[in-house]
Amino acid sequence: MTDTSARRLLILRHAKSSWDSPALKDFDRPLNTRGRKAAPLMGNLIAARGWVPDLALVSTARRTRETYERLSEGWSTPPELRCCEAIYEASLPTLLALLRRKAGTARCVLLVGHNPGMQELALTLSGPRPVDSLGALAAHFPTAALAALNFSIADFADLQPATGTLEAFIKPRELSAGPDE
Residue 139 lies in a domain: yes
CATH code for the domain in which residue 78 is found: 3.40.50.1240
Q: Facing residues of 17 across strands?
A: 31
Residue 38 lies in a domain: yes
* Cα distance between residue 104 and residue 73, in whole Å: 25
Q: Facing residues of 7 across strands?
A: 151
Give the residue numbers spanning the domain of 79: 6-174
Longest CA–CA span in the chain (Å) reads 50
Residue 20 lies in a domain: yes
Residue 137 lies in a domain: yes
- In this predicted structure, what is the pLDDT of residue 181? 47
Residue 105 lies in a domain: yes
Residue 91 lies in a domain: yes
Q: In 13-171, which residue ranges form alpha helices assigned H by DSSP? A: 33-48, 62-72, 92-102, 117-125, 131-139
Please give the mean pLDDT across all residues of the chain. Answer: 91
Number of domains forming the structure of the chain: 1
* Cα distance between residue 122 and residue 11, in whole Å: 7
Per residue in 23-52, pLDDT tens? 899 999 999 999 999 999 999 999 999 999
- When pLDDT is cut at 50, 70 and 90, the band that residue 57 belongs to is very high
**Residues shown for the chain:** 181
| φ and ψ at residue 166, rounded to 5 degrees | -75, 105
Residue 11 lies in a domain: yes
Q: Kindly state the percentage of the chain with pLDDT values over 70.
A: 91
Residue 165 lies in a domain: yes
Looking at residue 128, the DSSP 8-state letter turns out to be: S
Three-state SS for 80? strand
> What is the pTM (predicted TM-score) of this model?
0.93
